[in-house]
Amino acid sequence: MSSPKFSRAIVVGASSGIGAELVRQLASSGTVVAALGRRMDRLEVLGLEFPELIHPFQHDVTDFRAIPALFQDVTLKLGGLDAIFYVAGVMPEVASDEFNFEKDLAMIQVNDAGAVAWLNQAAMRFAGVGAGTIVGISSVAGDRGRAGQPVYNASKAFLTTYLEALRNRLIGVTVVTIKPGPVQSEMTAHLPGHDGFMPASVAAELILRKSSRSGEHYLKLMHRLIFLILRNIPSPIFRRLNL
């Protein structure tokens, strides 16, 4: 399967990790990309790699009310839109006995509310033209509720379900849910075994390839199999497994 060719794309959460790699790879295949995130300095440096093709925009996705107008500005700048990648996400460290509403709210706001704010705009537009691709970076973490990261898990489950619903609602639009396993990035840098995680560039390449087909996609066959099993373990048993 080869990557679909997009002329114009938006990447929300583009300043580091998977998002930055997506921008880089899209631009190197000729796509005009709007790269969004809070850290403008990072976006500008990234933009220098393909000054003609990469357009940085400073944006905090929790600035929800600004999104409809910004979406119009960005699509005007790009001259149209074929695909949007919602990559922005946070996963603060949470101790196993910690219940910190501030951290939880941040995850809900960035991973979910921001996604809805951006992807609703894209959905309206793509529904109108009967074409387009929506890609959301969810996570294997959304497949089960686990002891370590209650709200992160729940936030990714929300995103997965929201994207499934969009897929069922929009005709002619490709809606892609990506569920990566561990990937090397700033988000995971503190985790044990980080060096063995999938490099972000590899993840981005796989994501682009899988963006041609509507549906939920894991990045590794092994994950697909493992999570098929994990998803189907009844909750009382899952709890005892202590995974």
Residues that bind other proteins (CB under 8 A): 68, 71-72, 75-76, 79-81, 121, 124-125, 127-131
The whole-angstrom distance between residue 86's C-alpha and the CA centroid of its chain comes to 4
Q: Is 218 a catalytic residue?
A: no
Question: Are the CB atoms for 17 and 183 separated by under 8 Å?
Answer: yes
Quick one: 130 or 215, whose CB is closer to other proteins?
130
Cα dihedral 95, 100, 102, 104 sign: positive
Tokens standing for residue 114: 């921001």
Q: Which does 110 bind (CB under 5 to 8 A by kind): other proteins, ligand NAP, none?
A: ligand NAP
Of 180, 204, 217, 223, the one binding ligand NAP by CB under 6 A: 180
- Binding to ligand NAP by residue 174, rule CB under 6 A? no
Residues 6+ apart with CB under 8 A from 29: 3, 5
If one counts every other C-beta atom within 10 angstroms of the C-beta of residue 171, the result is 8
Q: Which does 125 bind (CB under 5 to 8 A by kind): other proteins, ligand NAP, none?
A: other proteins
Half-sphere exposure at residue 81, Cβ-oriented, CA atoms within 13 angstroms: 28
Angstrom distance (rounded) from CA 12 to CA 34: 8
Residues in contact with ligand NAP, total (CB under 6 A)?
30
- Binding to ligand NAP by residue 47, rule CB under 6 A? no
Q: State the minimum distance, in angstroms, from the CB of residue 7 to ligand NAP.
A: 23
- Binding to ligand NAP by residue 75, rule CB under 6 A? no
Q: Which does 137 bind (CB under 5 to 8 A by kind): ligand NAP, other proteins, none?
A: ligand NAP
> Active-site residue numbers?
152
